[in-house]
Structure formats: structure tokens, C-alpha cells
Amino acid sequence: MTDIDEVFTAGGPLARALPDYSPRRAQRRMATCVADAIAACRSLLVEAGTGTGKTFAYLVPALLSGRRVIISTGTRTLQDQLYSKDLPLVAAAIGRPARVALLKGRANYLCRQRLFAVTAQRALAGFEGGSLAHIERWAAVTKTGDLAEVPELTDAGSVRGAITSTRENCLGQRCAEWARCHVVAARRAANDADLVIVNHHLLLADLALKEDGFGDLLGTADAVILDEAHQLPDLVTQFFGVEASSRQVEHLLADARTELARVGGDATASTALASVDAALGQVRETLPLRAGSHSVARMAWDEVPVSLETALDVLADALEALHSALAAQGGEAALAHCATRAARLGEVLARVSHAREDEAARTIERDGRGFTLSMLPFDVAPRFRSIIDARPCAWIFTSATLSVGEDFGHFATRLGVADAETLQIDSPFDFERQGLLYLPPAMPDPSAPEYLAAVLGEALPLIEAARGGAFVLFTSHRALARAAEMIAARAEGPLPYPLLVQGTAPREQLLREFRAQGNAVLLGTASFWEGVDVKGEALRLVVIEKLPFASPEDPLVKARIAHLNAVGGNPFRDYQLPEAALALKQGVGRLIRSEEDFGVVAICDPRLVSRGYGRVLRASLPALTVTRERDEASRFLTRRAA
Ligand code: SF4
């Protein structure tokens, strides 16, 4: 019988299957703890530093357990990698074939009902890279309905939206295509599998019962393993929140008009549609514009004028009236569904509009054409906890960043899992030897007007010493744009290295170019602080502009701070500082991704040293050798670059 220790030994199955495999005690320790947690149905939080090999450390015990396990990832990339690469490899190595299913969100599967509706109308013109006939031919033969089989169909394309379903427009069991529905078939396959690979969005949609009508994915799971778990507190907050947008109302109106035209609706329904249209227009007119801006602007609820609240109430009432009018049209499935959507939207609007101050952060975001209302609860722990309690199985949360220092309290409290066991596994990398942490000695205060120029004054000589191969990470889009302008306008001329600026191309494309160029300089904000894995010499310098404290001007942050003050908490200690520590750890973690990597992290913000809380932040960072001398950092880079 194969056991954990045997799998991870020097002559064991993994070593025999993988020529590069080297046994790591930390990996074996994590695997043993995961196996124990699965066997005992316990909750476990594992922080596994980069290079631990945590994927194998949970896949092996999951396969050996012989139980039904759900594995959830933060990104589709990791989901695909587990399904097509890691799992088959581990299963073959340890001789434990399993029935594995990859389950994606409904937006990835063809909706047969909607395709038929589109085909009937012949309303779509100009398909990207293909034609309606092409999609129809594929639809006639596909077994899975997975749109990844039609690579011409881009993510952003309007066609994709027209032939996939949303929770709002799916007809569920009333659908004539239910028996042949690809979403239903994918979920059935998942229910029959031993190991199901999902992503957090899909899992949470299930948990938050936002995928009603498709059964409970977790119903019979013995263990749930959540990788990239540091993303969960924010994702859970989003899922337990509510959102309604002008676009949803517009889509509802368009669908209802089409259906009414098809079945021949009465005058009451037409009047109700016109009322919603008028009420929507009134909300748009009442939306205040931020000074001098026609772009996206998010407002906290306490900035919302009374006239807007009134207009939203009128819209909610009009949607309720539309619901009644559509429901009275004879019960035809598609029309009845529009009625339900109208009722739901009306309810959400009313809920956001009349929520209690201490319950949730409410915002309204204007994006030129329309608006989005959202409500995010302050405390999701009790609700998430009740979900866990209702599903007595092993819950394993793992990531490279779950703790602040050695304390898992912040993460555990936000999710209500404070009683879970914890395990912290340090990275096996030799950070002291592989990297330098450079803290510039004479930086101005981050609020000073000359601060950004001082950051570039530190960054550019280091980029020169490293001969490119650098990430410069900013905490705001404004600072990033200004820095890009300043670099372009340098008296010395343009940078002698390829300059990649976030926003000029999709993230994945920028990363591909960065890896391929080998000497590029990438300027990025939040989306490059985490989830980016550039191994090898392409990345040898990371410059961090400022400590990643969430802006207190952000309406959501502002509301959370006000709430913590109101309930007698300490917003800085309990919220802003731990969040910044986790984000900083992520940002610094971009540099050393393998035993061969080397480089310098420069954190330009002087508060890391000058303020008392800097200690908490420094305690969360890997044990890089620290220097305050730029020459030493430059020499390190020059030596390694040479
Ligand atoms: S059940 Fe929903 S997703 Fe499936 S075909 Fe019908 S409308 Fe589309």
C-alpha cells in the first residue's frame, strides 16, 4: 500500500516519474497534514511558501484518500493546469487513476436554448472569426459544449454573450433543452467524479446558492481543498453582496420586448415596459458626475443625493409592476422568466436603497453610459461559517500568503474559521543568498509632490544595473500613468529596454512579452502584484513604489473604516495593516520563484522603516538580505547580470 512518506521519498513514485523531482521535507509535511485533515474531516489553513510544491502536497493525499474531493482554484489558468497536467501526472506516478471532472462556470458553455433563439431571429451580424453557420455546425457535433473548442470566439465578443446563459436568463428546468443542456451535463459529470476541479467563483456561486436549479456541487464531497485561498475573503464578500446595473435592466427590457413581440403581449405589459424605460432614464439623469469627469466614478452611499434615491425607488416600483404585467401574460416559459428577472432586479434595488448603515458598504458606480449599484456586507464570517458547518467535511485552505508574521488571525477571522488548525511552511529557497531587499535611505514622505520622481530616481539606476528585467509596481493607476509619462520624457532619452505599461495590452500578452524579451521593464498596478509567475532571469528586479495600503478615499474602504470605528474596532490594526501586509508579501513574492532565481526588491516607501507598524510589515516578508545602500544593490545586480 502506497503511503504519503513513500510517495515523497528519493526513490519513490514521484522521483521515478519526474526526472527533476527532489524530495522536500516541507512538502512531505504538508502532504501528511492534508491527509490527516481529510481523514479526520477537519479544517486546516496551510501557508506554504513559494517552492514548497504545495500542489503535489495536496493532490497526492487527495488521490490516496480514495474519497470525493473538490479542488478549487483562484484562476482558470491553475484550474486548467491541474486538470490537464498535474493531476494526470501525479495519478499515473502513484498508480491511482481517478475519475476527474473539470467544471467551469456557465459562461464557458454553449446555451442551446439561446443559440436557437438567435438562429431563429438571425439577428446577429458579423461574427468574430466565423459565422453563425460555423457555430451552428459546431453546436451540432460538440459533446461538451465547451466554448474553448471554438477558439475564434473571443472572451470579449458580443456573440459569446448571445449564445451563453447567465443565472438571470437561464430557464432552468422549464427549458425545452434541459435534457440536452451542456451546463446540466457538465454538472452531472462533476457529480459522478471522484475529483472535481472548479474555481472559486463557481464554488462560491454554489455555496451562495446563486446557481439554483443545478443541484449542490458540494453535496457529497468528503473534502474541499481551496488553493490560492488568500483571494477568498474578498470573493466571499462579493458573493454575499448584491449588485444591480443599468445594463441588466436594459437586457431585461430587450428580452421582454422580443418575447412580447413573439407571443403578442397586451397593452399593460407595453405600458409597464415603457415605465421601466422612463424610470431608468430618470435615474441616469439624476446621477451626479464627478467634477470634470465622464469616466467611471464610484460614490459611497452617503454622497448619494436624495433625488437619486427617489429615482431608484421609482425604478424599483416600475420593475415590480413589470413583473406583475409579464406574469399575467399566460405563463409562457421565456416570458415568465423575464417576469422573475424583473422581480429580482426590483428587490435588489430596493434592498440596496434601504439597507442599514451598519450592515454593508453601499456604492453606486457611474460609467458614462450607465451605473452599477452594489452592497457588500461588512462581516461575512457568520454566513461562511454556517456553510462550512452545514457541510461536515475537510476544509483545507492553502496559499503562499495567509498569515501576517506568523498570525493567521486576520484571514481566519474574516472567514469565520478561527478554530481551524494552522500550518506554516517556509519556502525552501535561500532568500538571504538569492536576493537583496533594498530600502532607499533618503526618500521623501509618500505624500510629498516630489515622491514619484524620487521613486524613479531610485528605480532607473537599478534598472540600468540589472539591464532591464524589472517590474515597477504602483499602488494607483494615476502614479503608474504619471511614471510612464516621466520615463518617456526623460532628458536622457527613452529607456534602452522594452517598456511595457499596464493598460496598453491585455495582462497575459504583456507577461508573454516580458518573458520573451528577457530585458523588459513592466509598469503595473494591483493585477501584477499577485498571481504572476515569472521564473528565471527575465525578472531580476522588483521596485515597489508605495506600501499597498488601500486608499482611504475609496468608498468601500471608507465605509469599512467607518463601520469598524462605529463598532469599537481599530480599523488600522484590524483591517488596513493586515491587508497591506498580505499585499506587500504578494508583491515581494514576485521576485524569487525558483532555486535559481536571484534579484533585488526595492521598497521605496520610507514608512517601512520610519513607522512602528513597519515591523509588522517586515515580519511578513521573506528573509532577504537587507541593504540601505543603492551601490550594494546595483553591484549585486551587475554581478548577477554579468
Ligand atoms: S437550461 Fe439554461 S443553460 Fe441549459 S440550454 Fe436551457 S437556458 Fe440554456
Q: Per the structure block, which three cell numbers stand in for 52?
A: 514548497
CA of 72 to the centre of ligand 1 (A): 24
Q: Are residues 299 and 443 part of one domain? A: no
Q: What angle separates helix 246-263 from helix 333-353, to the nearest 10 degrees?
A: 150
Cα–Cα distance for residue pair 74/376, rounded to 1 Å:
20
pLDDT at 262: 82
Does a structural domain hold residue 136? no
Determine the atom of ligand 1 nearest the C-alpha atom of 175. Answer: 6
Domain total in the chain: 3
φ/ψ region of 357 (left if φ > 0, alpha if ψ in -120 to 50, else beta) reads: alpha
Q: Which of 394, 409, 425 marks a domain boundary?
A: 425
Q: Are residues 393 and 517 part of one domain? A: no
Q: Are residues 336 and 484 part of one domain? A: no
Mutate to test the pocket of ligand 1, among 110, 111, 142, 182 (most ligand atoms within 8 A of CB): 111
CATH code of the domain covering residue 280: 1.10.275
Look-up of cell digits 520610519: 610
CA of 173 to the centre of ligand 1 (A): 8
CA of 148 to the centre of ligand 1 (A): 18
Determine the atom of ligand 1 nearest the C-alpha atom of 111. Answer: 8
Q: Are residues 417 and 336 part of one domain? A: no
Q: Are residues 500 and 370 part of one domain? A: no
Cα–Cα distance for residue pair 60/31, rounded to 1 Å:
7
Q: Which domain range does residue 437 map to?
A: 431-641
Does a structural domain hold residue 115? no
Does a structural domain hold residue 121? no
Determine the atom of ligand 1 nearest the C-alpha atom of 182. Answer: 4
Q: Are residues 515 and 409 part of one domain? A: no
CATH code of the domain covering residue 600: 3.40.50.300
CA of 118 to the centre of ligand 1 (A): 14
Determine the atom of ligand 1 nearest the C-alpha atom of 165. Answer: 3
Q: Are residues 557 and 618 part of one domain? A: yes
Task: Name the residue with the closest Cα to ligand 1, atom 7.
Answer: 170
Q: Are residues 616 and 475 part of one domain? A: yes
Read off φ and ψ for residue 521, nearest 5 degrees. -120, 120
Does a structural domain hold residue 462? yes
Does a structural domain hold residue 73? yes
pLDDT at 129: 44
Task: Name the residue with the closest Cα to ligand 1, atom 3.
Answer: 111
Characterize the bridge pairing of strands 360-366 and 371-377. antiparallel
Does a structural domain hold residue 175? no
SS3 386: helix
| Cα distances (Å, whole numbers) of residue 632 to 242, 533, 538, 602, 621 | 51, 26, 21, 12, 20
Does a structural domain hold residue 6? no
DSSP 164: S
CA of 172 to the centre of ligand 1 (A): 6
Q: Are residues 615 and 494 part of one domain? A: yes
The type of residue at 484 is A
CA of 112 to the centre of ligand 1 (A): 6
SS3 225: strand
CA of 165 to the centre of ligand 1 (A): 7
CA of 182 to the centre of ligand 1 (A): 8
CA of 607 to the centre of ligand 1 (A): 54
CA of 176 to the centre of ligand 1 (A): 8
Does a structural domain hold residue 127? no
Determine the atom of ligand 1 nearest the C-alpha atom of 106. Answer: 3
Q: Are residues 280 and 317 part of one domain? A: yes
Q: Are 147 and 164 in contact (CB under 8 A)?
A: yes
Mutate to test the pocket of ligand 1, among 106, 175, 187, 340 (most ligand atoms within 8 A of CB): 175
10-residue stretch averages of pLDDT, the chain, 642 residues long: 83 90 92 97 95 95 95 88 92 92 90 87 52 84 89 69 85 92 92 92 78 61 95 92 92 90 84 95 82 60 86 95 90 85 94 87 84 91 90 93 92 95 94 95 96 97 96 96 94 91 91 95 93 89 96 85 90 94 94 92 97 94 95 92 65
The type of residue at 351 is R
CA of 79 to the centre of ligand 1 (A): 24
Return the bridge partners of 73, or none. 199
Cα–Cα distance for residue pair 569/557, rounded to 1 Å:
15
Q: Are residues 443 and 385 part of one domain? A: no
Q: Which residues line ligand 1 (CB under 6 A)?
A: 111-114, 165, 170-172, 175, 177-178, 181, 183
The type of residue at 179 is A
Q: Are residues 625 and 530 part of one domain? A: yes
Q: Say if pTM beats, i.e. exceeds, 0.75.
A: yes
Mutate to test the pocket of ligand 1, among 104, 106, 108, 114 (most ligand atoms within 8 A of CB): 114
Mutate to test the pocket of ligand 1, among 184, 187, 338 (most ligand atoms within 8 A of CB): 184
Cα–Cα distance for residue pair 128/158, rounded to 1 Å:
9
